[in-house]
Amino acid sequence: MNLLLIKLTDLFRHPVKLLFYTVIPIISVFLLGILLEEGQRGIKVPIALVDEDESEFSELILKRMKGEERIQIIPAQIEEAEKMLLKHEVDSVFIIKDGFQKQLFEGKEDSIVDILLTDASVAYGIVREAIAAEILRLSSNIQAADWVERSFQDLGILKSSPDDLWNEAFRYTDGQWEPEPLMTANFVLENVNNENNEINESVIVNNGIENLYSPYIGIWTFFAMLVTILSLDWLVKEKTSLFPRMKSTAKGMTGYLIASIIAIFVLHLIQLFIFIGIGNYLEKFIVNISLLGWMAIYILFSLSIGVLLAAYAKNIGSFYLIAAIFSFIISLIGGSFFPVDELLKMINFGYFQWLPQQWVIQNGGPAPFISIVHAVVIIFVTWLAALRRLQENL
Amino acid sequence: MLQNWKVICLLIFTPMLVLSGIGLICFQLLKTESAVHPFSVAIVDQDGTEETKFFIQHLLDSDHITELANFQMLEINAAKDLLKKDEIASIIVIPENFSENVRYGINEPLTVIGNPNRPVQSMLIFSLLESATKFISAAQSAINTIYHFLTEENISREIIRDHYSRSLLHFGLFTLSRGDFFEETKLENFHKDHFLQFYSYSFYILTIMIWTYGLVILLKQKTSSSLSVRLESRGMTSIAISSARFIVLFLSLFFLGIALFLPLYFYFDLSANNFLAIIAIIFTSAAFITFIDSIISSDKGFTIFGFLLIMIGAFAGGQIIPTLYLPEWLGKIGEFTLNYQFMELLIPKGESSSFLSVLAIGLVMLFICLGFQSIKDRRRVLG
Amino acid sequence: MIHVNGIYKSYGKKQILKGVSFHVKRGEVFGLIGPNGAGKSTLLSILATITKPSSGTISFQEMNVLKNSKAVKSMIGYVPQDIGLWEDLTVEENMIFWSKFSEQPVEKEHLFALCQKVRLEEKWYEKVANLSGGMKRKLNIAVSLIHNPEILLMDEPTVGIDLESKLEINNYIQDLAKQGKTVLYTTHDLREIMHLCDRIGVLNNGEITFVGTIDEAKEMMVKELRTPPKNEEQLLLFLLAMKSKVKR
């Protein structure tokens, strides 16, 4: 206990060190997180739109497409558009062919829009669906008006001129799209936030997805691991200078090691609480007790790995390098930066839900009890291996 | 440095293997949708009318939707249960009185309950559903118009019902045929292995940067404070030390970088000019890290800051997602990153970017670094 | 007091200690001398229970060290060759810190008294990083005496310090021996050994080649070379050149 107090006092006596281990990771997480979040929000598919028809309807399509958030429309002539496509400055080229409006009125909708693609055109499907929706709107407006005009004539109830009736029916059909279409969809995320583990739907956005994937917790797992392991650099220095002396004493080295690790753990818990506080305040993510618990376990895991790495590191430079590479690689494949496990599942590659990052990102995962057992075993085994190495190699 | 051969091996091989592995996986994902295994989505129809059945049928009949997802009809509690267990990607909920509201022009939104553990799949389903709602809106607005106009004229209910049923069928089929609007043409003279090449270059550059960063950490640790003092006493200035470090870094990277590049050179049948590009990249990467090293004296600070810079550069510079798809402001930031400059140098776009400009960036950084060290030396001498 | 019997120690294929045997009496200052790489520090770390020998036995006061390492630790005070102190803590803080490793609690007054004995009382609130080399060495010794050990294992405790400090430390060690403490002292400096030690052991290439007093060493040289040593350096060279003529 005394040793613990001494270590804690020593830690808090160095404000620079304190700031480094608390402030730097938090700043890094939010810096990178905001970049990824805003970047994700603003992702759009750039396409070149060529209007060969230059009619009222083709201009309407162009105008409405420009309002699409996820698509960047670049109006261009055909030659220019092809060049842009070959230089991969646009994802694809959509050409509203000459006669577009005429064909719509005639009900001949086949091949009225050309799409130019390359092997690099991966996102044109989204644009295709969006343009198809606009064409369908126009076309169904026309067909509905035609139907009404034809029915009235067939039933002999035509009172005004056919053109007037047609226009009225067209406007009525189109009017059902304002202020919003007849059918829309809302997106909500599953949110388990009560004791009975029931799903409460919390509406994140209306009529769209803004931030499906919140990167903050994932990125925290990377920086938390890196900084936690780096905070154990004193082990590399002390194992040659101080540990031999400690080992010759009655109380030995283990007590000191445990006290030091607990002190470091307290420091990183403070960092965790500050991070959670800021994140909650900025409404960047939702935290519950379970997630907090997993984040604390994750720090413990990082500490045990750090002790093991420090026990094996020959010098401080190697230790820093191994810490950086290990943290980066395991975070990369563990899904800290993007949902790797989901992407891998999609091609049936297998997934890495047993990596420690997933304990935090998936809040324990589908089988929390097994995850806890897994975590405890790994931490215990790692710690034992590290102690053994430190004891043996003096 | 070579005494740490185990650590050097770890540094050289690990990023290369892991990044290549992830690159191959990304490439597979982008290349063929057929390689993607369909995921499960639950549909909860709380309305149960003909219109909702028509809507569901629309989903099930759409090839490009069923390529990605398998649909199963469930009750809401059963669906939520599966979602909690992470067995489905999302739940599509058609609310009660949905079709009646739509008929009277009242928007009753569908709800998609997404799975936060599967953000990509959830996003895909939502995008597809958004499109589907527009198609259905188009059909429904037409059907509503016909119904409205006929009803207003006091036509008999039988005739109205007949028109309604025929219009439902007609417009329903019409929405399904929307694929016929388009005629697709693939340009043959575009680079065939574009994405494979893109990600190969991207991960090559990332590997070079990680190697540079790692080698500097290894070089730094050799110089203890007492050794630095001794070196200073023998006239070894900070400039000399930084220069020596840079040369070792460049030479090490040169051999490693060329060795790593050779497989790409042969596979993509590249020209000799690309070697000049590689040399420029290696030179500038070494200069950049040397420059950062001269500013940040703390080893830990360098470890964290260096990594942060590489990651920001990788994302903003378009190495993960091409800058083409990034928002404009991010693209502008990205243009200032070295990652972006390196990618521009390697990706063939018709006009070749100049390796001299990249080399110039490296030289400028080196000169700034040496200038900075010179100021440090003078301060030390003058006290 | 200390009985070392047939100690072997290998690191991989390299044999560091080859059957080292000697004993040290209670209250004796025993000097262990030998060239660089002879195995002195390794032997000391084995005696201090930091590392284990590959084979052999060691006993302190008839207690087997290898089987009772925890009990033995309270009896020994280890002074490492590297300064095992916290550079950014003060003398007081270092003493308090290391006192936590004792089985029994230690009063602060006792810690200060120890510092007084090594003449560091004026530096009580000074950071270790600001102390001279000699002062650090003295503190290094004081720390190992906190728990009042019976046996002191000192690995080149005066290396790299000024003559005055060296003499001060030597005098202090002699006082400790007079108080009944047993001291095992390794060094390169034969002059220091001649001044300080009751008996010496010569460790060369992992083997003990001589154990005895200085006078016995001189007699042996006369016997072997038919000439007495002109100075300490000659005696040292002779001792180091000897092969396994151990007189226990």
* pLDDT, average across residues A165-169: 93
Statement: residue B205 has pLDDT above 70: yes
Chains that touch A (3 or more CB pairs under 8 A): B, C
Please measure the distance between the N-terminal and C-terminal CA atoms of chain B and give it in whole angstroms: 33
The CA distance from B77 to the nearest CA of chain A, in Å, is: 10
Output the pLDDT for position B40. Answer: 87
Distance CA A300, CA A297 (A): 5
Q: What is the pLDDT of residues B243-275, one digit of tens each?
A: 888 999 999 999 999 999 999 899 888 888 888
Q: What confidence tier does A198 reach under pLDDT thresholds 50, 70, 90?
A: very low
Which residue of C45, C82, C101 is in closest CB contact with A246? Answer: C101
A residues 118..177 contacting B (CB < 8 A): 118-120, 122-123, 125-126, 128-133, 135-137, 139-141, 143-145, 147-148, 151-152, 155, 157, 169, 172-174, 176-177
Banded pLDDT at A348 (limits 50, 70, 90): low
**Confidence band (pLDDT; 50, 70, 90) for B20?**
confident
Which regions of chain B carry the CATH code 3.40.1710?
38-181
Cα nearest neighbour of B8 on chain A: A318
Q: Give residue A350's pLDDT band: very low, low, confident or very high (50, 70, 90).
A: low
Residue C88 pLDDT exceeds 70: yes
The stretches of A248-367 forming alpha helices (DSSP H) are 254-281, 289-312, 316-334, 340-346, 356-361
- Contact at CB, B146 and A144, closer than 8 angstroms: yes
A153-167, A200-214, C55-69: range with lowest mean pLDDT: A200-214
Q: In terms of CATH architecture, what is A44-175?
A: 3-Layer(aba) Sandwich (3.40)
Q: Does A178 touch chain B (CB under 8 A)?
A: no
> Does the distance separating the beta carbons of C83 and A250 come in below 8 Å?
no
B134 Cβ under 8 Å from any chain A Cβ? yes
Task: Rank A238-252, A329-343, B21-35 by mean pLDDT and report only the highest.
Answer: A238-252
Judged on CB neighbours under 10 Å (0-12, 13-18, 19+), A276 is middle
Distance in angstroms (rounded) separating the CA atoms of residues B118 and A188:
13
Q: Give backbone dihedrals phi and psi of C185, rounded to 5 degrees, phi first.
A: -130, 120
Mean pLDDT, chain B, integer = 81
Give me the pLDDT at residue B259, please: 92
Identify which of B144, B196, B259 has the alpha carbon closest to the alpha carbon of residue B30: B196
More confident: C238 or A167: A167
Identify the band that residue C30 occupies on the pLDDT scale cut at 50, 70 and 90.
Answer: very high
**Chain A contact for C84, CB < 8 A?**
yes
Domain B38-181 class in CATH? alpha beta
Q: Nearest CB to A182: which of B107, B111, B315?
A: B107
The string of pLDDT tens digits covering residues A78-100 is 999 998 898 888 999 999 999 99
Q: Where are the domains of chain A?
A: 2-39+215-392, 44-175
Phi and psi, residue A74, nearest 5°: -115, 105
Report the pLDDT averaged over residues A16-32: 89
Give the residue with greater pLDDT, B64 vs A109. A109
pLDDT at C81: 86
Q: Which residues contact A305 (CB under 8 A, 6 or more apart)?
A: A225, A229, A326, A382
Digit-coded pLDDT (tens) for C171-229: 889 999 999 999 999 987 877 888 888 999 999 889 998 899 988 988 888 888 888 88
Strand partners, A92: A47
Q: What is the pLDDT of residue A128?
A: 87
User: What gap in Å lies between CA B268 and CA A152, rounded to an integer?
Assistant: 66
What are the Cα distances from residue A351, in Å, to A40, A117, A356, A365?
Answer: 23, 33, 13, 12
| Contact: A244, C84; criterion CB under 8 Å | yes
Q: Check residues A240 and A54 and name the one with the higher pLDDT.
A: A54
Do residues A317 and B221 touch, judged by C-beta distance below 8 A?
yes
B200, two tokens: 């190969």
- Beta-carbon contacts of residue B344 (< 8 Å; ≥ 6 apart): B353
Spell out which residues of chain B touch residue A78, defining contact as CB-CB under 8 Å: none
Asked if pLDDT for residue C91 goes beyond 90, the answer is yes
Examine the pLDDT at A230 and tell me if it is beyond 90.
yes
Give per-residue pLDDT as tens, B294-334: 888 888 888 888 888 888 898 888 888 888 888 888 888 88
pLDDT over 70 (residue C62) = yes
pLDDT above 70 for C246 = no
Query: Would the pLDDT of C79 be above 50?
Result: yes
Percentage of residues of chain A with pLDDT beyond 70: 89
Query: Residue B221: is its pLDDT beyond 80?
Result: no
Q: Closest residue of A to C149, CA-based? A: A249
Question: What's the average model confidence in pLDDT over B61-86?
Answer: 82
d(C-alpha B305, C-alpha A25), whole Å: 10
Q: In the prediction, which pLDDT does B7 show?
A: 77
**E strands in chain C:** 2-11, 14-24, 29-33, 55-60, 63-64, 76-79, 151-155, 182-187, 199-204, 207-212
Residue position matching structure tokens 């001291």: C183
Q: What angle do CA B35, B41, B45 make, to 5 degrees?
A: 150
Residue B34 has pLDDT above 70, yes or no: no
Q: In whole angstroms, give the CA distance from residue C77 to residue B355.
A: 66
